[in-house]
Amino acid sequence: MADASTEWAVQTRELRKTYLTRRGRRVAVDGLDLRVPVGGVHGFLGPNGSGKTTTIRMLLGLARADSGRMRIFGRPVPHELPDVVSRVGAIVESPKFFPSFTGAKNLSLLAEAIDVGRARVETVLGQTGLTDRAGDRYKTYSLGMKQRLAIAATLLKEPDLLIFDEPTNGLDPAGIHEIRATMRRLADEGRTVLVSSHILAEVEQVADTVSIIGRGRLLASGTVEAIVGQRTAAVRVGIADPGAARDVLTASGLAVRDDDGHLVVDGEADPARITYLLATHGLYVHELTRVRAGLESVFLDLTREEHLGAQGDVGEEPATTAGVAR
Ligand SMILES: Nc1ncnc2c1ncn2[C@@H]1O[C@H](COP(=O)(O)OP(=O)(O)OP(=O)(O)O)[C@@H](O)[C@H]1O
């Protein structure tokens, strides 16, 4: 049970990790403050290389932080990891199963190895929707079923916190849907699911809360609505001469972009001001709509720098500064 003072399943403070590379030190996690509430699905989102896997590996004691603090259910880790590890189930890399054994047999072997009663095998197969295929050999499973078997394995010891690193990687839409449904079910049972992804759409629908990171730093955190709500809406303008309209609006200091023959004015654009500005230049709009930013556009916006930087490896420091960890 979580004690009353533990409102966070996972908490990191000023977490930092650098890797030593041939080109210097690469900053993978750069002062990350992460807070994952107890209960529900928490999406841990960021572009490729933003530090998600490194963070998860540090939480699980698989990599050592340079500095900073981490807690799982209020207990400092890695120091007290042995005390909380039984409450945590994680898939960080593809688990190894025996290809010629059935799903049920693979799970039974694991249950035995971690001293869990055989009865749990039936339960976890049911929880992941694999009961019907439990008697089939692992090698005949689809990718989605293999991933669900991996989730089933993590459930054997009834963890309160599940950590899944990019669980939908390589899955087709049906497989992604199955994993999402499985995560939802686990959260509805009162567990906490921390799921990382670089593809927002894959977790947006299932996540109760999200943290968006870029270059190892927290960029935004909270409910999807709160994050989207903080960003101002845009105004979409339909007009016969978009080129002339763009010049007028840009000259007035507004941020304008093209969107499929329309113009979109980003930021705190007042529709009345747009109409007025254009009309005074003899330009008349035939359509004016307020558009709310979606999480997708907020995500892209927040992480834009990182996408640009990805080509230039901006996370590198000269080889003389921070300490190195393995
Ligand atoms: N063992 C390592 N040695 C050197 N650099 C590493 C190592 N592991 C990760 N990195 C670098 O650290 C940064 C963060 O990588 P990490 O794998 O944590 O990101 P990620 O957000 O999980 O990305 P992805 O979505 O691609 O899995 C990247 O620049 C990566 O190249």
Q: Which pLDDT tens digit goes with each residue over 51-69? A: 999 999 999 999 999 999 9
Residues 64 and 104 grouped into a single domain:
yes
Q: Atom 7 in ligand 1: which residue has the minimum CA distance?
A: 19
Nearest CA to ligand 1 atom 8: 54
Which run of H or of E encompasses 87? none
Q: Are residues 98 and 176 in the same domain?
A: yes
CA 194 / ligand 1 centre spacing (Å): 18
From 15, 18, 26, mutation site for ligand 1 pocket: most ligand atoms within 8 A of C-beta: 26
- How do residues 70-90 score in pLDDT, each as one tens digit? 999 999 999 999 999 989 999
Residue nearest atom 5 in ligand 1 by C-alpha distance? 19
Name the band, by pLDDT with cuts 50, 70 and 90, for residue 269: low
Output the CA 226–ligand 1 centroid distance in Å.
Answer: 29
More confident residue, 143 or 29: 29
Query: Where residue 129 sits, what CATH number does that domain have?
Result: 3.40.50.300
Mean pLDDT of 303-311: 57
**Worst-scoring range by mean pLDDT, 124-133, 192-201, 227-236?**
227-236
What residues contact residue 224 under an 8 Å CB cut-off, 6+ apart?
204, 207, 209, 210, 295
Contact 220, 298 (CB under 8 A): yes
Which pLDDT score is estimated for 29? 96
- For the record, the structure tokens of 249 come out as 């609006």
pLDDT of residue 312: 36
Indicate whether 282 belongs to any domain. yes
Protein residue with its CA nearest to atom 25 in ligand 1: 48
Q: Is 315 in the pocket of ligand 1 (CB under 6 A)?
A: yes
Exposed e or buried b per residue across 40-75, where buried means at least 16 C-beta atoms within 10 angstroms of its C-beta: bbbbbbbbebbbbbbbbbbbbeebebbebebbbbbb
- Residue that is last in its domain, among 203, 223, 243: 223
**Are the C-beta atoms of residues 191 and 162 closer than 8 Å to each other?**
yes
Residues 94, 23, single domain; the answer is yes
ipTM greater than 0.90? yes
Cα 78 to middle of ligand 1, angstroms: 20
The arithmetic mean of pLDDT across residues 223-242, rounded, is 82
Residue 53 — φ and ψ, nearest 5°?
-65, -40
* Domain match, 279 and 179 both: no
Instruction: Report the pLDDT value the prediction gives residue 231, as an integer from 0 to 100.
Output: 66
The overall average pLDDT reported for the chain is 86
SS3 state of residue 194? strand
Shared-domain flag, residues 115 and 263: no
pLDDT score of 232: 63
CA of 52 to the centre of ligand 1 (A): 8
Distance (Å) from CA 47 to ligand 1 centroid: 11
Dihedral pair phi/psi, residue 115, rounded to 5°? 65, 45
Q: 76 lies in which domain range? A: 8-223
Cα(31)–Cα(55) distance, integer angstroms: 11
Q: Is residue 210 part of a domain?
A: yes
pLDDT tens by residue, 117-168: 888 999 999 988 899 999 999 999 988 899 899 999 999 988 999 999 988 8
**Does residue 49's CB lie within 6 angstroms of at least one atom of ligand 1?**
yes
The sign of the dihedral angle between the CA atoms of 158, 160, 161, 162 is: positive
Distance in angstroms (rounded) separating the CA atoms of residues 27 and 322: 9
Q: Which of 196, 223, 250 is the last residue of a domain?
A: 223
Question: Same domain, yes or no, for 123 and 269?
Answer: no
Assess whether pLDDT exceeds 70 at residue 309: no
**Ligand 1 pocket: which of 50, 169, 314 to mutate (most atoms <8 Å of CB)?**
50
CA-nearest residue, atom 23 of ligand 1 = 49
In a domain, 286, yes or no: yes
Q: Are residues 23 and 115 in the same domain?
A: yes
Is the CB of residue 54 below 6 angstroms from any atom belonging to ligand 1? yes
Q: CB neighbours (10 Å) of residue 98?
A: 12
CATH number reported for the structural domain that contains residue 238 in this entry: 3.30.70
Q: Are residues 169 and 186 in the same domain?
A: yes
Q: Provide the pLDDT confidence category of residue 322 given band limits of 50, 70 and 90.
A: very low
CA 202 – ligand 1 centroid, Å: 20
Domain co-membership, 218 together with 235: no
Number of domains in the chain: 2
